[in-house]
Amino acid sequence: MVRKKSPRPEKLCVVYGRPFQWRKKREKVWDEVKYRNERCRRERNKRPKTE
């Protein structure tokens, strides 16, 4: 029997506008998370923001 995963919250990356999902490691700071990963965080000043 295959277990179906429950839906996880999603956000959009402020740099690339791509969606990313909640992860256990981001659990305590989910409200503060803006970037998908370290690369997006580094690129934040190099690219114009998407809305």
- Annotated domain spans of the chain: 10-43
Q: What is the pTM of this model?
A: 0.66
- Residue 10 above 80 pLDDT? yes
Region 10-25 average pLDDT: 91
> 24-49: per-residue pLDDT in tens?
998 999 999 999 999 988 888 876 65
User: In the structure, what pLDDT confidence band is assigned to residue 3 with cuts at 50, 70 and 90?
Assistant: confident
Three-state DSSP state, 50:
coil
Secondary structure of residue 32 in the 3-state scheme: helix
Residue 47: per-residue pLDDT: 65
